[in-house]
Structures are given as C-alpha cells and as structure tokens.
Amino acid sequence: MKIEEFIEIIIYDLSYIELYILTFMYFLFLYFVLAPMFLKVCEFLSSKNILHKIIEKDVTKKQIQLEKLYSLKSIVVFGFSVLPVIYFIRNSTITLLPNTIYNIILGLTLLTVWNEIHFFIVHRTMHLTFFMKNVHTVHHRSKIPTVYSVYSFHWFEAFLLSTVPITIIPFIPFAPIAFFLYPFVSILFNYSGHCNYRFGNGISESWKLLGTHHNEHHYKFKKNYGFASNLLDMISARLNKVTIKRRNN
Ligand SMILES: [Zn+2]
Ligand SMILES: [Zn+2]
C-alpha cells in the first residue's frame, strides 16, 4: 500500500475510536522507544567528547519512574488531539495541500515556529503562582531533566500543550504528512531540551545551544520559557525594558 493510500484511510475511513488508539500508540512509540535510543546516542556522543553533560549528578530511579507514570497519563490526553483535526478535515473546514516535499517541509517549519510561540505562552502562564503551585509543579519535579521528562506533565498542562495543531491547522492549508510527522520532529527538540547534554560549555554559537536553555530552566526554575530556543525570551526581555523605560520617562 502506498503512503498516500494509508493517509487517506486514516483521514477518511477510520472511526474516531480507531483514530484515538492509533494516535495513543504513536505517542507510546515516540516516548518509550525513542527516549532510550536518544539517550544511547547522547551517551555515545559524550564518550566521543562531542556532547557534555550539563549537570553531573545522577537522577534517582524514583524520578524516572514518576516521569514515566506522568508521561503515560499525558499520552492518554495526547491521543485526543487528533480527533478535532480529523473532524474538521472531514467537514472540509481544514484545507489540505498535496503531499509534495515542499509542502511537507513548509508545514513542518510552520508547525515548529507555531509550537515555539504556543509553548512560550503556555509555559509563561504556567509560571504564574496559581498554575505553578497546582499544575506546572509536576513538570518541575524533575530538577535535573532526563529524556523521560519530556511528557511528564499534569493532565491540564498536557491538554494545553496538545492544542498546537488545532490552533493553527484550520487557518493555514497543510499537507497531511506534515501534520502526522510533526510529533516526531517535535519530540526530537523536546529530547534535546531535557536530555541534560549539550554541545560544549553552553556559551558557544547560538545554534549549538539548542536545548541548553530548557535544560537550565529545570535546574534554575526561572527564565528560558522557550521550547527549542531562547529567542522569545530575548524579545520579551527587550519589550519589558522598553516598557519600564517609558514608564520612568
Ligand atoms: Zn517551567
Ligand atoms: Zn521541561
């Protein structure tokens, strides 16, 4: 069966229960199969002196068990995220583009940029006192993050984060493969932000700092609210400075 036919079946023929089960299993694979593989790659690159551990301390087995438990709960929530998207495709609210390489790369880029903005807004909100105390505290149990921290959320935060596709796809036409590939691309950024490894000492060129900021966010508990970069942190810090300057004048 060609990939196009497979995608057509997923979009138009599966029941919503089958769609939920398929999405749930997809996220199980991304988490339980890819996380140990990503860790092995980090350990290998670290043995070759290409990557370096950020914090040398070991994490407890209990932390990893808890991360897996909370992540499993998040995956139960993520399973629902596909349903509104398919519903809107079926009633023609969402416009689909042909699955050309150009459309797939464009779709993945747009989703990556939107995810950065969406995550920044949700994450900044999670650091308000009420949410920090009652919701985001689950994610910050992992003071030293691990690859298993990536989905370790309170169910409400998992729900908010699962709204990335549905908050953009109805407004911009997308290639379906970009939508289905996006969780895979996203989790690779996510692993780099939680693996506790980075290139060099953390003060190299900006592209080499990928993931460093979020790893540090876990340890220092503040600043660096972005997902894969600190660009939005820099913009918001600059805007704050301008506002304070205006107020003082
Ligand atoms: Zn946080
Ligand atoms: Zn995190």
Widest distance between CA atoms in the chain: 68
For residue 214, the CA-to-ligand 2 centroid distance in Å is 6
Burial (CB < 10 A; 0-12, 13-18, 19+), residue 55, is middle
Among all ligands shown, which has an atom nearest to the Cα of 151? Answer: 2
Mean pLDDT confidence for 104-115: 96
Among all ligands shown, which has an atom nearest to the Cα of 126? Answer: 1
For residue 79, the CA-to-ligand 2 centroid distance in Å is 20
For residue 55, the CA-to-ligand 2 centroid distance in Å is 15
For residue 230, the CA-to-ligand 2 centroid distance in Å is 14
| Closest CA relative to residue 109, chosen from 151, 150, 31, 168 | 168
For residue 221, the CA-to-ligand 1 centroid distance in Å is 6
Task: Compute how many other C-beta atoms are within 10 angstroms of the C-beta atom of residue 227.
Answer: 24
Mean pLDDT confidence for 24-43: 97
Checking if the pLDDT of 207 tops 70, the result is no
Predicted confidence at residue 204, as pLDDT, reads 62
Checking if the pLDDT of 232 tops 90, the result is no
Among all ligands shown, which has an atom nearest to the Cα of 221? Answer: 1
Predicted confidence at residue 219, as pLDDT, reads 84
**Sequence-ordered strand ranges (E) for the chain:** 51-53, 197-199
Are 173 and 97 in contact by the 8 Å Cβ rule? The answer is yes
The residues with which 53 forms a beta bridge, in sequence order, are 197
Render pLDDT for 210-221 as a digit per residue (tens, 0 to 9).
Answer: 667 888 888 887
For residue 140, the CA-to-ligand 1 centroid distance in Å is 6
CA dist 53 and 215 (Å) reads 11
Are 36 and 191 in contact by the 8 Å Cβ rule? The answer is no
For residue 54, the CA-to-ligand 1 centroid distance in Å is 18
Mean pLDDT confidence for 179-190: 95
Task: Compute how many other C-beta atoms are within 10 angstroms of the C-beta atom of residue 135.
Answer: 19
Predicted confidence at residue 1, as pLDDT, reads 65
Checking if the pLDDT of 134 tops 90, the result is yes
For residue 127, the CA-to-ligand 1 centroid distance in Å is 6
Reported confidence tier of residue 115, pLDDT bands at 50, 70, 90: very high
Tell me the whole-structure pTM to 2 decimals.
Answer: 0.89
Q: Which residues of 163-177 are buried (b: 16+ CB within 10 A; e: fewer)?
A: ebbbebbbeeebbbb
Q: What is the mean pLDDT of the chain?
A: 91
Mean pLDDT confidence for 206-210: 63
Stretch (H or E) spanning 129? helix 129-131
For residue 108, the CA-to-ligand 1 centroid distance in Å is 25
| Closest CA relative to residue 166, chosen from 92, 91, 234, 89 | 89
For residue 6, the CA-to-ligand 1 centroid distance in Å is 38
Render pLDDT for 2-14 as a digit per residue (tens, 0 to 9).
Answer: 888 889 899 999 9
Reported confidence tier of residue 229, pLDDT bands at 50, 70, 90: confident
